[in-house]
Chains A and B, each alone.
Chain A
Amino acid sequence: MRALAVRRLVLLLPTVLGVVTLVFAFLHLLPGDPVEIMLGEWAAPADVAALRRELGLDRPLVAQYVRFLAHAARGDLGHSIAFRAPVASVIAARYPATLELAAAAFALAVAFAVPFGVLAAVRRGTALDRVARLASLSGVCLPSFWLGPLLMLAFSIRLGWLPVAGRGGLPHLVLPAITLALGMVGILVRLTRASLLAALGEDYVRTARAKGAPRWRAVGVHALRNALVPVVTVLGLQAGALLAGAIITETVFAWPGLGRLVVQAIQARDYPLVQGCVLAIGVSYVAVNTAADVLARAIDPRLIEDER
């Protein structure tokens, strides 16, 4: 297990390097000069040139890239052009908000999706199964820019139960977390149901039942454990996506997280900040997926054998 974790961590380096290289290349293909955007149209050309020199933007692209990597290796992500502050501190200020929202959405999604998926599988073909499938399909289909305002209208304006937007405690977290979780719930319900149905048809489940294991034990212990392996893998991917910044949900709910920061940084052509954000997102994504892989192997040790 430890070897697996180490192997994954070693793979993290080329993955993140690849992502950062792609973002660096695409970002510099965009029209728009960050210094002109930062200084405004009234800035003197000499001042624009001076600041460009100071930020290293007058150097060849390759030199800028090498410089960025060299600094990043030392833990220095550079200075944000728009915020006039170290990139690391700007990201550190926003990351907790993203983490909080992602954790809440993740917990909500797992708490609702796995039991509903199990119930839908166990009661296959019943009204409950149809409701669960329809609800999960709706969850996947409803875009957050539509669902978010709808929830606000219902729970904040009509009922007055919850605040409209902003960050400031548990009540503020409910609506954005539901909005973000719903898409994930849809996927997980369908996956848990399909995976459990497949497991329930396996010989070992029939054997367990034949040996007298009660139905709950055959489902909950024998079938579910195997059915959860693909669910955990998808959970890892989904959790990574949540950490990658729920851009629309954060914008709709005025949530001051990483997703909104990335948009702001791109609009300002704040290259160091965009690169820093992508680095933070890439590392988070790979780390969460590594954790999911490790968890999947803990659930089903045969996966470790397969890799040997």
Chain B
Amino acid sequence: MLGGLAGGCGEAPPPPGSLVVAFDSDPESLDPRFQTDANGARLADLLYAGLTRADATGRRVPDLARAWELADSRSFVFRLRPDFRFPDGRAVTAADVKATYEAVRDPALASPKRAALAVLSAIEAPDATTVVMRLTEPFAPFLDATGLGILPAARAREAGDVTTGAGPFQLLSAERGERLVLAPNPGYPDGAPKLHTVVVRIVPDELVRVLELRRGGVHLVEDAPEPEMVAWLGTVPSLLVRRTPGTSFVYLALNLRDPRLADRRVRQAITLALDRAGLVRFVLGGAARPATGLLAPEHWAYAPARPPRHDLRRARRLLDLAGYRAPRPGAPRFRLVYKTSAQPVRRRLAEAVQAELAAVGIAVDVRVYEWGTLYADVRSGNFELASLAWVGVTDPDLYYLAFHSTMLPPAGYNRGAYVSRVTDRLTSAGRQTFEPARRRAIYARVQRRLAHDLPVVPLWWEDRVVVQTRRLHGFEPSPSGDLRGLAGAWLD
């Protein structure tokens, strides 16, 4: 039977010039009004144009808007490029921008992005290429919300999914759970993409994605496979493994509601007990950089700092000083519960942390949870230690959302209940300061403060590991993992 099939077997070959990309899961929504997941965001980069987009340093750069200015501390004026077009050839105008933002702000639509526009009090379109956005208060991070993909005005309020944008590609077909096919948008102003189509295949199993790469059924994988698989793929002549510094920040969340973790000396001891360089080697095969904090060195607001040291003797002394001595020789000083997701990398990290903290007398019980359960526990403060990550950090206002004392869930992301008047004051000032140099100075102080207080234990910034066919040219992987680089790519 197999022999009989062999003659006509193989994938139905995509047309020449078609690039096949593998995703691990289906994007939950392709509609920019509702998209919240990482794979949805990657496709949104290809399908839609927003007023602005983030560059590799986290700065906002022009997309649909060629320029913008602050008319006063509460008004942004955006000047649009006249040459962006939807796939039907119609030019994108200020009316489309206004309609899309107003639709998202409408509570009836129940868009998850409405909260990000809470400070937007009015939006005006005085002419076809000018958009004025008025804010309720001075709010510097507002530009971060201007990446919203713009839809045609006539469709912006439709209840069903709308996938018509002015990005470099348009959606040709979507078979949920199976594949999505994207074709170039002929009206894209920087020149229609050279790729014939981009086929996104949903391949949940990592080993199968790797085998598909090896076989040639997939041309590009952006989610880093396990280190040993990357090494194997590196030996395949038709494939190219590209490793670039990434911005995803992996850290240990600490629950400061726990009296032991509320003591800074204990947090410092945990930080000193971890050998970050060793963890990076053991857990990720070296595909990361030991982190000093939330912002990676490429970010415009990053303040250079020394990575935390690995010093077991000092860690033990701090625990002694905090009053946590071992009750008898060989017995642990105290016991912590460490919650993690079931991802293999996270499980390996948990085992390594368990071993390293045991060396200073802290016993760790590792509990592995499915993501929804872990997320619910972390949100409700039902954890002691947990390994988490921040992905796609752009504006440093994340410091406010993650560390301001009023930002306990559900209002924000301060899951560990960290309270610091200094951090509160600085992060509040950062939101209201527009001048870049002053803003940068404020966030440098925030970073120093957090490096001192240690509300979370920084671990590493993950590298971007992209595996692609050598036939793909003109594609530069971005630190955040977006795919907009495919607009200028081609296959030979």
Q: List chain A positions with a Cβ less than 8 A from chain B.
A: 30-33, 36-45, 47-48, 50-51, 54, 82-84, 90, 93-94, 97, 149, 152-153, 155-157, 159-172, 174, 251-254, 256, 260-261, 264, 266-269
Tell me if B36 and A40 are in contact (CB < 8 A): yes
| Contact for A37 among B201, B372, B377, CB less than 8 A | B372
- Whether the Cβ atoms of A251 and B204 lie closer than 8 Å is yes
A267 and B24 CA atoms in complex are apart in Å by 14
CA distance A268 to B12 in the complex (A): 32
Return the contact of B208 from the options A38, A149, A169, A174 (Cβ within 8 A). Answer: A149
Q: List 30 A-B contacts (CB under 8 A).
A: A30-B372, A31-B376, A32-B375, A36-B375, A36-B410, A40-B112, A43-B112, A45-B410, A50-B110, A84-B29, A84-B34, A156-B215, A161-B3, A162-B2, A163-B11, A163-B217, A164-B208, A164-B212, A164-B217, A166-B178, A166-B179, A167-B178, A168-B11, A168-B12, A171-B5, A171-B9, A256-B175, A256-B176, A256-B177, A267-B370
Q: Which of B114-122, B126-134, B149-157, B425-433 contacts A (4 or more CB under 8 A)?
A: B114-122
Tell me the residues in window 350-373 of chain B with beta carbons closer than 8 Å to chain A beta carbons.
370-373
Q: Are A90 and B176 in contact, with the CB atoms below 8 A?
A: yes
User: What total count of A-B pairs have CB within 8 Å?
Assistant: 151
Contacts of A94 in B (CB 8 A): 176-177
Tell me the smallest distance from the CB of B143 to a CB of chain A, in Å.
Answer: 16
Which residues of A lie under 8 Å from residue B202 when comparing CB positions?
254, 256
A161 cross-chain contacts in B, Cβ below 8 A: 2-3, 5-6, 9
B214 at the interface (CB under 8 A from A): yes
B176 touching A171, Cβ below 8 Å: no
Give the CA-CA distance A59 to B411 in the complex, in Å.
23
B39 within 8 A of A: no
- B176 is contacted by which of A83, A157, A269 (Cβ under 8 Å)? A83
In the complex, whether B25 has a CB less than 8 A from a CB of chain A is yes
Q: Which residues of B contact A45 (CB under 8 A)?
A: 410-411
B376 with A165: CB separation less than 8 A: no
Closest to B372 in A: A32
Bound Cα distance A171, B215 (Å): 15
Complex CA gap A172/B2 in Å reads 11
B207 sits at the interface (CB 8 A) = yes
Complex interface: chain B residues within 8 A of A157 (CB) = 211, 214-215
Residues of A within 8 A of B212 (CB): 164-165
A residues near B161, Cβ cutoff 8 Å: 84
Q: Which residues of A contact B243 (CB under 8 A)?
A: none
Given the complex, which residues of B lie within 8 Å of A33, measured CB to CB? 376
Q: How far is the CB of B346 from chain A (nearest CB, A)?
A: 16
CB of B8 closer than 8 Å to a CB of A: yes
Residue of A nearest to B114 (CB): A47
Would A39 and B211 count as touching, CB distance under 8 A? no
Residues of A contacting B215 with CB < 8 Å? 156-157, 160, 163-164
Knowing A33-B376, A264-B25, the reply to whether A166 touches B203 (Cβ < 8 A) is yes
- Asked if B311 CB lies within 8 Å of chain A CBs, one says no
Cβ 8 A contact of A254, one of B208, B214, B372: B208
Q: Given contacts A157-B215, A267-B372, is CB(A41)–CB(B2) below 8 Å?
A: no
Closest to B373 in A: A31
- Whole-angstrom distance between the alpha carbons of A30 and B369 in the complex? 12
Chain B minimum-CB-distance residue to A31 = B376
Instruction: Say whether chain B's binding surface is mostly helix, strand, loop, or mixed.
Output: loop
Q: CA A48 – CA B115 in complex, angstroms?
A: 10
Please pick, from B201, B203, B211, the residue contacting A149 in the complex, using a CB distance under 8 A: B211
Question: What distance in Å separates the Cβ of B3 from its nearest Cβ neighbour in chain A?
Answer: 8
Give Cα A149–Cα B410 distance, bound, in whole angstroms.
42
Question: Considering the chains assembled together, what is the distance between the CA atoms of A45 and B12 in angstroms?
Answer: 47
Q: Which residues of B have CB within 8 Å of A164? A: 208, 211-212, 215, 217
- From the candidates A36, A47, A93, A260, name the one contacting B107 in the complex (CB within 8 A): A47
| Chain B positions within 8 Å of A267 at CB level | 370-372
Residues of chain B within 8 A (CB-CB) of A149 are 207-208, 211
Q: Bound state CA distance, A171 and B112, in angstroms? A: 42
Within 8 Å CB of B211, what residues of A?
149, 152-153, 156-157, 164-165
> Nearest-CB distance from B395 to chain A (Å)?
12
Shortest distance from the beta carbon of B1 to any chain A beta carbon, whole Å: 7
Tell yes or no: B86 within 8 A of A by CB: no
Whether the pair B203, A50 counts as a contact (CB closer than 8 A) is: no
Contacting residues of chain B (195-212) with chain A, CB-CB under 8 angstroms: 201-205, 207-208, 211-212
| B110 shortest CB reach to chain A, Å | 5
B residues 332-350 near A (Cβ < 8 Å) are: none
User: A175 to nearest B CB, angstroms?
Assistant: 9
Determine which of A36, A42, A153, A261 lies in contact with B116 in the assembled complex, contact meaning CB atoms within 8 Å. A42
Contact flag A50-B107 (CB < 8 Å), given A166-B11, A252-B205 = yes
B62 on the interface (CB 8 Å rule)?
no
Within 8 Å of chain A (Cβ to Cβ): is B384?
A: no
Residue B399 CB within 8 A of the other chain = no
Measured CA separation A267–B116 after assembly (Å): 25
B6-30 with Cβ < 8 A to chain A: 6, 8-12, 25-26, 28-29
Listed from nearest, the 10 A-B pairs whose CB atoms lie closest are A32-B372, A256-B177, A44-B115, A171-B9, A39-B112, A256-B178, A40-B36, A31-B376, A32-B376, A161-B6
The residue of chain B having its C-beta at the shortest distance from the C-beta of A44 within the complex is B115
List 4 additional contacts besides A43-B112, A264-B177; criterion CB under 8 Å: A152-B208, A163-B11, A254-B178, A254-B203
Q: Are the C-beta atoms of B176 and A54 separated by less than 8 Å?
A: no
Residue contact B376 to A42, C-beta cutoff 8 Å = no
Instruction: State how many angstroms separate the Cβ of B371 from the closest Cβ of chain A.
Output: 7
CA distance A253 to B161 in the complex (A): 28
* Cβ–Cβ contact A43 & B178, under 8 A: no
Q: Which residue in A39, A254, A264, A269 is a CB contact (below 8 Å) of B36?
A: A39
- In the complex formed, the residue of B with least CB distance to A162 is B9
Minimum CB distance partner of B202 in chain A: A254
A166, B201: Cβ atoms under 8 Å?
A: yes
User: Shortest beta-carbon distance, B200 to chain A, in Å?
Assistant: 12
Kindly list chain B residues whose C-beta atoms are within 8 Å of the C-beta of A39.
36, 112
Residues of A within 8 A of B116 (CB): 42
A residues less than 8 Å from B9 (CB atoms): 161-163, 171
Report if B141 contacts A (CB, 8 A). no
For the complex formed, measure the closest distance between the CB of A249 and the CB atoms of chain B, giving whole angstroms.
11
Question: Please, which residues of chain A bring their CB within 8 A of the CB of B179?
Answer: 166
Q: Report the minimal beta-carbon distance from B443 to chain A, rounded to whole angstroms.
A: 20
Per the bound structure, the CA–CA distance linking A148 and B94 in Å amounts to 53
